[in-house]
Each structure stands twice: as structure tokens, then as C-alpha cells.
Amino acid sequence: MTGTGYAILAYGIALSMMLLYGLGMWRQRRKLLRRVQQANGAAAADAAAPPAREPDRASPAATLTAAE
């Protein structure tokens, strides 16, 4: 291999390593942000859902049970 070939090899490897490291971080960041969005979505859905109903004590059925 010539000197030019070695120089191209060195720059190619170095820049590829930097690029791969940067892309790896970018992918990881996207994955984490998606997880945060999913968690936020789930929390918002929980907040928007109606609360679990307690038995209506004034309903006819409750009155009847109490009278018994």
C-alpha cells in the first residue's frame, strides 16, 4: 500500500469511529425520548380516566339494603 493509501485508511477509520459513536448516541437518545413520551402518555391517560365509582349510598338499592 502507498503512503496515500495509508493516509486514507487512517482518516477513514478515525472519521468512521467518530461517526458511529455519534450515531449510536443519537439512536440511544431517540429511544430514551420515546420512552419518556410513552411514560408521559400513560400518566396523562391515567389522569384523564374517570375515578373508580364508590357505591351510591342514596340509590334505591343502597336504601333497601340499609332498611334490611
d(CA 7, CA 1): 10
Q: How far apart are the first and last CA of the chain?
A: 100
Examine residue 41 and tell whether it contacts other proteins (CB under 8 A). no
- In three-state secondary structure terms, 61 is helix
- How many residues touch other proteins under the rule CB under 8 A: the total is 24
**One of 23, 36, 44, 61 touching other proteins (CB under 8 A):** 36
Interaction site with other proteins (CB under 8 A): 1-4, 6-7, 9-11, 13-15, 17-18, 21-22, 25, 28-29, 32-33, 35-36, 39
